[in-house]
Amino acid sequence: MPDVQVGRAAPGFVPDAARPALGARCQGPLLHVVRLGLRPYAEVLELQRELALARITGSIDHDVLLLVEHPPVVTLGRSASASHLVASPALLAARGVDVFEVERGGDITFHGPGQLVGYPIVDLKRHRQDLHWYLRQVEEALIRGLAPFGVHGSRVDGLTGVWVEQDRACVAHEPRKIASIGVHARSWVTWHGFALNVNTDLSYFDLMVPCGIRGVRMTSVALESGAGAPSLASVSDSVARALAGVFELSPVETLMEDLLKVGTA
């Protein structure tokens, strides 16, 4: 497992003041929720590594959730097969898609505008030292976070991620996947995380075999919601609250510069 590298910190993103704070009361362990806006993948990857190191050493004493959008990027996890990236370098360049090989588990996936990407930096020593349990908790948070928008998320046996319930599928025997999950951990502290399609341009997934699963069809909250397309901000709020709930944490909005001050104190 590679060493954690310390990278340049990204400046904080000030949340919309018109939206209510995530946590009305901050009792017990916290979940620092940091909104980064639209940021390059490489910048946020280094930030994750920096925060994970701070969590490992204990200089940040509470778990963290980074919420972000990325410009178009394909990421290859540890189990990715080269054959699952079906687009040529020329086509990727024409569509402005970067490619990164990273330390997370899983295969190949896409991140881009309109997609809610969440990076939970969670110390499992404070929860349960079991990565399979952790993955199920993240799935549960996404399922709960989608429910207010009329999207009925579910699991598929043997596969990681969140899917649309099969009885709602338009095409028989063709499950629709709405969120992908891939994690990495060192000293039981996690980073990397989930990608939830909100109003994503799904044609980008044609560049690959998503998550290495042939025959899967990707979908989004915008396509599945019976109440119209919700905003990325409203979905991020719902998911943040749900993630805090499954880990029994109190979510609190935190600016990145304030969190880094804590980490270097």
Q: Give the catalytic positions in this structure.
A: 211
Other CB atoms within 10 A of residue 93 CB:
11
Cβ count within 10 A of residue 190: 25
Reduce the DSSP state of residue 191 to 3 states and report it: strand
Q: Which DSSP state fits 45?
A: H
CB 151 within 8 A of CB 165: no
Q: What is the DSSP string of 86-136?
A: -S-HHHHHHTT-EEEE-SSSSSEEEE-TTEEEEEEE-BGGGS-S-HHHHHH
